[in-house]
Chain A
Amino acid sequence: MTEERKQGKFKNPLSLQIKPDLFEQASEEEKAQQVTMRESVSFMKDAMRRLRKNHIAMISFWVIIIIALIAFIVPEFYPYTYTKQDVSAQNLFPMQYSAKEQAKIDKGQSVFPHIMGTDALGRDYAIRVIYGTRISLVVGIFSALIVVVIGIIYGSISGYFGGKVDMIMMRIVDIIYSLPDVLIVILLSVAIKDWVSGSKSELIARLGAGMVSIFVVFGLLYWVSMARQVRGQILSIKEQEYVLASKAIGASPARIIRKHMVPNCISVIIIIAAMQIPSAIFTESFLSFLGLGVSVPMPSLGSLASDARTGLRSYPYQLIFPALSIFLIVLSFNLLGNGLRDAFDPKLRS
């Protein structure tokens, strides 16, 4: 660069006179400045890198993947089903065979072992625990989805339009927030249970009162914290210049919310969704334990633990397996949730 340009000694900054030295070949030094030292890191990539460094979160992630694979694949080729009763094989201990099965083995036939024993009706316990785990995962993930969808839509509308709309929408959120959620879930399950038993819809009958009411209640009540957080984010993003630019070009509010605002709230959304999953699993198992959950013979981890109470002294394994499964699932989701929070929002790190 020439001395003249550095000092800004142009006669007239608006002059159209072309300076020939602007077309000089760049020196090696100047070229070196243009070389990108490393790839630019997007926010998502940066967060994922931080997450991968967090061993506890990664272990939890893989535990969840393994549990999910077992829960969704194993029942497809497992030799027992969760409904099949065998009167001669009641309350077998893990890896124990009934007299009938023992006779078969003695004859040289192979019998698949009851890895976790059988229950009081002679049903294989392992497959029941696996099915219960599947229910828990489905409830957790679908509830999180419901919360994400409603929370984002509600929160972004409230935050984007602001003013009176915002005030009314947030008052509603305040009121919903102060309702005692678990009591309302129980109340709705009681009511829905009655309605489900009379309903002819096969899907609803299969899901059971607890599942239906959990989804209804998550749709009605649980999205409020998500909506609050999304609104908070939107309020600050709204003031950014690129939103103004987008508005100036003539983009519709829906497009601005979808293209500019929601992607910028992604960390809040991921963190809250991850925290929602274990709480939904907790609620479902609690309802099933009270007898308001899935309908028989479908097992759930809560109903398995509840049924295990009758023979607790003699067959403690019937409690231990579902209890262990629910503990492992909730623990892994909690730890993964903490890892995600640390990775996506370093400011929140405690």
Chain B
Amino acid sequence: MSSKFVTYLIKRLLMALLTIFLVIAITFFVMHAIPASPFSSEKAKSDAVIAALEAKYGFDKPVPVQFVNYLWNILHGDFGLSTGWVGNTVMELIAGGFYYSARIGFTAGILALFFGIILGSVAALRRGRLLDKLIQVVTTALVAMPSFVMATILLLIFALQLSWFPSLGNQPGGLVLPIISLMLYPMAYVTRLQRSSMLDVLGQDYIRTARAKGVKNTKLIFKHALKNTLTPVITYAGPMMAYILTGSMVVENIFSVPGLGRLFTNSMLRTDYMMIMGVTIFLATMIILMNFLSDILYKIVDPRIDLS
């Protein structure tokens, strides 16, 4: 590790921390700009009760004081108390939902990368043939399909009409359809990235040299070409994370998976501001960290890239 790399690492880390801080600030001040109190919508409550509740949740202090307290608590892993699910802390609820979301999201991401790289490489190697054209048509169609359309159509066909899979996420095998509906869009995207990057690499001189030396086709592709095609795919890992996390909001609702996305939409229905803030900050931190990791990995994988 060169000192240049360490400088880059520190700079990039500071940038990520700054962004996380900004997200917390934006979230906090946007939510506090809403005039309504989270308790005012509920029925039959006297002003005294509301005041007592606000005191309990710390809403009676001046906004800047609340912000500093909020930041301090977040640093200790405390996102406050939920007002929609009384008796639970936000952190407990997030941890409970994250278990499901991580299972779906992680599987979908890995599968999308795996199949995307294979399909993209195959398309590039069979350039101009029927298989390539087929892959291109299918991926073009998939990229034009929003996640909720994909999920509802899969639900309609495979759960309601064919009954191959359960329509609810908490039944055995119920996570298969949510995973498929989340992975198809990123898979199509990775396929297209991988195809063009493979075509680019296959046209380079060192591949021709290797071929001229008599390197076998399989070895040529796996040892010489594939490694050098992966850099564009690595840069997509961050945006893919963002897509999967936000996509899971609709997919979890459609398949009734008790994950973070469903928790988030439910907390909007219950006007649970602490939950909305907590989940937003949690998801944003995940996305920012993933972007950070993919940037770092990108530099490690391809040392030729200029660090300045």
Contact = CB atoms under 8 A, between A and B. Distances in A.
Contacts of A350: 196, 199
Given A175-B18, A179-B23, A180-B242, A308 B152 contact: yes
29 contacts: A175-B19, A178-B15, A178-B19, A184-B23, A186-B246, A186-B264, A186-B280, A190-B268, A194-B36, A195-B34, A282-B146, A286-B246, A289-B250, A290-B249, A290-B265, A291-B265, A291-B268, A305-B148, A305-B149, A305-B152, A308-B152, A312-B152, A312-B160, A326-B149, A327-B141, A327-B145, A327-B149, A334-B140, A350-B196
Given A286-B146, A326-B146, A334-B143, A312 B19 contact: no
Interface string B1-41: 00000000000000110110011001100110111100000
A316 B156 contact: yes
Contact of A183 (B143, B254, B283): B283
A291 B287 CA distance: 24
Interface residues of B, number: 46
Contacts of B145: 327, 330
Interface in A266-307: 278, 282, 285-286, 289-292, 302, 305-306
- Name the prevailing secondary structure of the A interface residues: helix
Contacts of B268: 190, 290-292
Contact of B15 (A174, A188, A302): A174
Closest 4 A/B residue pairs (Cβ): A331-B144, A330-B144, A350-B196, A182-B246
Contacts of A308: 152
Nearest to A281: B146
A167 interface: no
A319 B156 contact: yes
A323 B199 contact: no
A278 B18 CA distance: 30
Nearest to A189: B268
B30 A309 contact: no
Interface in A323-345: 323, 326-327, 330-331, 334-335
Nearest to B250: A289
Nearest to B253: A290
B152 A285 contact: no
Given A174-B15, A302-B146, 19 more contacts: A179-B26, A182-B246, A186-B249, A187-B30, A190-B268, A195-B34, A285-B146, A285-B148, A286-B146, A290-B249, A291-B268, A306-B148, A312-B156, A313-B160, A330-B146, A331-B140, A331-B144, A334-B140, A350-B196
A194 B41 CA distance: 12
A198 interface: yes
Contacts of A87: none
Interface in B122-154: 140-141, 143-149, 152-153
